[in-house]
Structure 1
């Protein structure tokens, strides 16, 4: 078989028009030196971004909390004496970091805690820590690095809200036998917070026993914060709170540990307080400095029977400048839902999309049309969320848009009619961004891409088509959009794997190992930008005789299909 010179060139290189054209310029956030995975959270109108890192490089280790004489630790380390002095080799440092990271999952009360998630303000090439409720101590002359902080919304460049743990601090105790013991404990589980001009304020729940429980999700221009938290505690553990103050009753343990055992393990789970808290929407009214002036809570859609002990919940996730909050509430009923990957349905407590305004909880959507629903976003014109519907025996989440003026709802399709679609944000230009499935397959987990949907024009666009064709990033989930139409996105990138100290992982040949990573990126509109044409064209291959290399044709077609599916 012979090919013409033109045909050979065509099989080696494909041509695409407008190679450098695009409508958005992609700008990676400068967090790859902080952690291997980082996630976008929100973007302000001035371009300031909030992002979250996972398992940061080079976490500090408190040597005083490690027993280097214990046989179990000695067996884990390669150089105990060097580690005891803080001179870790890479193998031992990795072992100790993994040990401390597992302390959270194992609910340890004696090991140092390391945060899995921390958050940052990002402006251009600069980033600054959002400490949440963490504090500076003498141990490291810095923050304890024990607090999980998830910043969720930003107002301007200096005000942010989110949720944070309490710092884990040491509590010294001498037991009845005279033995000195040191415990590592915190005062509360998750609590909402606001940071204004560098000053952090905790947003406590109405119920404050055992430290309470709250989460903050959104803030409007009037300094109202929407979220949810505990309004009441119930269950057997509540009756034990007062007993912790009595050493004769609590046993030979410090009071702090007694309270912690009720809060975190009293119900047999790591979040016992959350399981025994009646969770309701909270709207915190703040002053210009972030101090709490008032807290308003909202009820369920229904009133449970007096003897009904089920833990019904209602939550708020967003709030507009008119003070209207949206979220979801349980109905007191169950619904059978067949999740992807399951061959039969399971009964779930029904949650439905709700609106909270002027002290009233209002259901938004006709319940008979949807199995479940959830209101996630609101601007001055629309409420946006998800509905769960069954199609071909499988229940998937898709998009709904509720018009506040007409009180009507539409259900836009994603990239195809049964695509699972999740909205993440809406701006004042009525543009929604989020993630949607791009493969109409029978797989349990389908490929997802970031989307942009314009309510006014009804355009549903894959954001990957708006950046350069040769981008190494695949845009998976668009998480926020500001009023300048700048977007922050979580993207997938094949990047070198890194050690716990941030250095590249090398194989036996001294080469780097590539892994899928999550990178937070910022998309900036290009004035007069044009969509990059990523549809490759193949020249007709000239052949002689009857023979044909079908393997080569299949390879070419596969390459074309893969590229098209990416965009």
Structure 2
């Protein structure tokens, strides 16, 4: 049963009617990238991994983030083994006074990969260096380019965005010992990587500011968010500077403290609150890739711009007909007092020209966004609305083939519009949708999240964690047939043998192909190390780090994110073991980026991309 938002049917009545419906058999899934109850879900020497998109050939693209901080034992100058627990992350800060180091790395994986099934393999973009090959004392190995993959089509064309490499200029300031200032020519640029290894950069329409006889390379912003099987890429790009940014650039040109490029970089970096001082007008884009190169098409904004206000439109998903899903600023119902940032789609008319279409919202929805559209014309997205006094995101879908398309909010676990936030990420051509939903109900605290699978045809909504076989959740079967948590043995710096229990939890599903293969992000439990007041690992007598212990003398554990691959099971059954948490375990709180965080942001002014 589907619930249209303005339905007069009460939630109680909806629940009663829904309870009478016949529930179809739930699918069963197995995690494919498990080895010894651990997930092969990130690159070597990185902490976090995210599965972004999978094509029909079971090829996926992903992002690793959080370069591991290597610790050295002062006694014999040997590298400490910190693979058993949650490794400390190398602190990466961006400053014009220090060399630029990257923290995002691209990888690929395949179901039948030459080096192993679904094993993450570093995939260099524009000469990036694998995190495990970086030697801090060797500048030639230090990677300054942050790169992210967001999509892949069935011809193995991969799309994403990357930053410019580090540039430097002689230092003329007053700090003793400093030789250079450091900067980039751009902070975000779309690209396509071909199967033969060729990298193709896609510049935005606007990259250079000119004043009098001075040209200033500001770089602009472009992101390639998705690609279809006709090699059409959608995303967004900068088309002009905001007026406030022009004033800042003029000050860079006339200023005497920094070289112009360094001054521009200083304004490109975010301040302590995350605000960037150089802002752009940004529009949704489609780029056609063929043998002659890349042909850009700028998609229309959802309103007529008559002021100097910064307006934004973004393409985020594209089907094989070339229809684009995304969002744009719009005056709702042409009322200039009701400016909103709303879900939209762009479809070609009979003349082959893209036309803007607003996904109509009511005044109750604060904003909305569309993430994807399939070849059947079914668009998926989410809107933001106050529910029970709190701002929540709710998953919706729209059949764009209708004469007057109306968004539908599917029932989730509670047979109605619950107050649990949910966002879709992807829809395949079988009308199966994946995304995430909040799995707990605390009002004032962060809520645990679960990946979901929604089947539009049967109107069934599933928590992916409830569809997994027991082994995929961290259980092992005893001789008597009972399932218990797998116990992991670790040795700490005192030589003590300790134990903690395995646990794997699907927290977001980002992509699903026609065969039902799902990729996304899972949390996996790892033990936490002890740190001293300086933030350094506490090392024991045997040269290994000490674990943080609970009241029972066993390691305190926390969740870390890893890429996960799930496929329908041919023989397994869904695990029915009742979940329970151990005292002393703590949920991992993600700091910094998360999967799909970057794609949905303008790096200059927007909130984090595909926030989880």
- Shorter-chain TM-score range: 0.7 to 0.9
How much does 1:440 deviate?
3.5
For 1:386, which of 382, 386, 407 is the aligned residue?
382
- 1:550 matched to which residue of 2? none
Any unmatched runs of 5+ in structure 2? 1-25, 34-38, 82-86, 111-116, 209-217, 348-352, 475-503, 531-535, 538-542, 586-612
Asked whether the 8 Å contact 2:331–2:338 carries over to 1, the reply is no
**Cα distance 1:24–1:397, how it changes in 2: closer, same or farther (>3 A)?**
same
- Please give the alpha-carbon distance, in whole angstroms, between the structure 2 residues aligned to 1:232 and 1:513: 51
2:246 match: secondary structure: helix
- 2:602 matched to which residue of 1? none
* 1:165-564 map, 5 Å: 165-173=163-171, 181-197=179-195, 198-209=197-208, 210-238=218-246, 241=249, 249-251=254-256, 253-264=258-269, 271-273=276-278, 276-287=279-290, 292-305=293-306, 308-332=307-331, 350-357=340-347, 358-368=353-363, 370-381=365-376, 382-406=378-402, 407-416=405-414, 417=416, 418=418, 419-469=420-470, 471-472=473-474, 473-497=504-528, 505-507=545-547, 514-534=557-577
- Please give the alpha-carbon distance, in whole angstroms, between the structure 2 residues aligned to 1:490 and 1:532: 20
2:56 match: secondary structure: coil
- Please give the alpha-carbon distance, in whole angstroms, between the structure 1 residues aligned to 2:205 and 2:573: 52
- Please give the alpha-carbon distance, in whole angstroms, between the structure 1 residues aligned to 2:544 and 2:423: 34
Asked whether the 8 Å contact 1:450–1:477 carries over to 2, the reply is yes
- Please give the per-residue CA displacement for 1:241-278, whole angstroms capped at 9, x wherever unaligned: 57867xxx4426434313324544799966323xx200
For 1:127, which of 91, 107, 120 is the aligned residue?
120
- Aligned-pair RMSD on alpha carbons? 4.0
How much does 1:151 deviate?
0.8
TM-score by length of 2: 0.67
1:115 match: secondary structure: coil
TM-score by length of 1: 0.72
1:146 match: secondary structure: coil
Asked whether the 8 Å contact 1:59–1:145 carries over to 2, the reply is no
Any unmatched runs of 5+ in structure 1? 1-20, 61-76, 92-96, 335-346, 537-556, 563-567
**Cα distance 1:333–1:251, how it changes in 2: closer, same or farther (>3 A)?**
farther
How much does 1:228 deviate?
1.0
For 2:105, which of 106, 118, 137 is the aligned residue?
118
Asked whether the 8 Å contact 2:359–2:407 carries over to 1, the reply is no
- Please give the alpha-carbon distance, in whole angstroms, between the structure 2 residues aligned to 1:325 and 1:332: 20
Asked whether the 8 Å contact 1:490–1:519 carries over to 2, the reply is yes
Asked whether the 8 Å contact 2:69–2:89 carries over to 1, the reply is no
- 1:341 matched to which residue of 2? none
**Cα distance 1:396–1:243, how it changes in 2: closer, same or farther (>3 A)?**
closer
Asked whether the 8 Å contact 1:41–1:52 carries over to 2, the reply is yes
Asked whether the 8 Å contact 2:206–2:239 carries over to 1, the reply is yes
How much does 1:487 deviate?
0.6
1:309 match: secondary structure: coil
Larger Rg: 1
How much does 1:523 deviate?
0.7
**Cα distance 1:252–1:321, how it changes in 2: closer, same or farther (>3 A)?**
same
2:46 match: secondary structure: coil
Number of positions where the alignment pairs a residue of Structure 1 with one of Structure 2: 468
For 2:53, which of 28, 42, 47 is the aligned residue?
42
- Please give the per-residue CA displacement for 1:442-476, whole angstroms capped at 9, x wherever unaligned: 24422221110011111111111221235221111
